[in-house]
Amino acid sequence: MEDIGWKVDYSAIPPDPYLIKDDSRKADVERHFGISKKTVNPIGLWMFESRESAGSPIIGYPLRYSPPAGKSGGITGLFMKKEIQVPVGGWLYCVPGLKASGKNGKESNRYTLVFDVRLPKENTFYCLYNTSPYSNNDGECFINPDGFLGSGNNGYGSVKIEAKRWYRLGIVVDADKKSRRYYIDGAFSHEVKDVDMDGRYSIYNAKAAAPILCFFGDENGEDGAIDARSIALYGIPLDDLQMRKLGNSGNFVFGL
């Protein structure tokens, strides 16, 4: 290397998001995640349990991190102990690689998202995902300051999500049935029938101009710092039995 005349403290430089290592479990998804040719499988699966591979996909495309305004750094810089913490104003994003789905739908209108998350504190908004490619409008799924999961008017459940413990939270969207259904640790929570085809809840598909899906980001700060251990995305609406099989955050079998 060229002698530039002063010493560089490389440890002070934020980790490069493009140097994320593969999760070693990726090499044998059948053994580690119960994923095989015979099972119904996620199209995207991301784990955040180690610093080196946080954001590296088990299945699908890599996750990237967009830091809050004025900050820098990659996804590995969010690593805590066995999880990442995504700050207010920061969010993750990926190319989900979904196909168009739903009757005459141009976007992806039928899918399931599953999050293993922990809320550091009560009485604040948390956002799980945003279908806007730049998280620049209202998020699509929240835990509100009362601790309830959902979004929109009359769109929240009545089971309180407590702070400081891990939950597996799921949302199943099926625009063919106008439906969004919510699950907490595999148990059905509630359903709202207001989903429009190619509307708020649809995800831009692989052929869209900006085929990007965002996690944990909201346009006006309703995205309190949240701890996350994994995200799974299925390209179909899972049913109650499949959601029950996915269970809670202690279960690593994602092939159904």
Q: Which residues of the shown chain bind Ca ion in the complex (CB under 5 A)?
A: 130, 132, 137-138, 218, 220, 222
In the complex, minimum distance from the CB of residue 139 to Ca ion, in angstroms, rounded to a whole number? 6
β-strand partners of 92: 65, 215
When the beta carbons of 132 and 189 are compared against Ca ion, the nearer one is 132
- DSSP annotation string for 62-104: PPEEEPPTT----GGGGB-SSSEEEPTT-EEEE---PPPBSTT
In the complex, minimum distance from the CB of residue 131 to Ca ion, in angstroms, rounded to a whole number? 5
In the complex, minimum distance from the CB of residue 168 to Ca ion, in angstroms, rounded to a whole number? 22
Taking CA atoms, 210 is separated from 127, 207, 215, in Å, by 21, 8, 15
β-strand partners of 64: 93
The separation between the first and the last C-alpha atoms of the chain, rounded to the nearest angstrom, is 51
When the beta carbons of 139 and 157 are compared against Ca ion, the nearer one is 139
In the complex, minimum distance from the CB of residue 222 to Ca ion, in angstroms, rounded to a whole number? 4
When the beta carbons of 204 and 234 are compared against Ca ion, the nearer one is 204
Cα dihedral across residues 79, 85, 208, 243: positive or negative: positive
- DSSP annotation string for 12-38: GSPPPGGGPPPPGGGGGHHHHH---TT
From the number of C-beta atoms within 10 Å of its C-beta (0-12, 13-18, 19+), residue 203 rates as: buried
In the complex, minimum distance from the CB of residue 22 to Ca ion, in angstroms, rounded to a whole number? 31
> For residue 137, how many other CB atoms are within 10 A of its CB?
13
In the complex, minimum distance from the CB of residue 190 to Ca ion, in angstroms, rounded to a whole number? 20
When the beta carbons of 112 and 144 are compared against Ca ion, the nearer one is 144
When the beta carbons of 152 and 255 are compared against Ca ion, the nearer one is 152
In the complex, minimum distance from the CB of residue 47 to Ca ion, in angstroms, rounded to a whole number? 25
Of 72, 70, 67, the closest CA to residue 89 belongs to 67
Under 8 Å between Cβ of 129 and 141: yes
- Token pair, residue 145, equals 């300051």
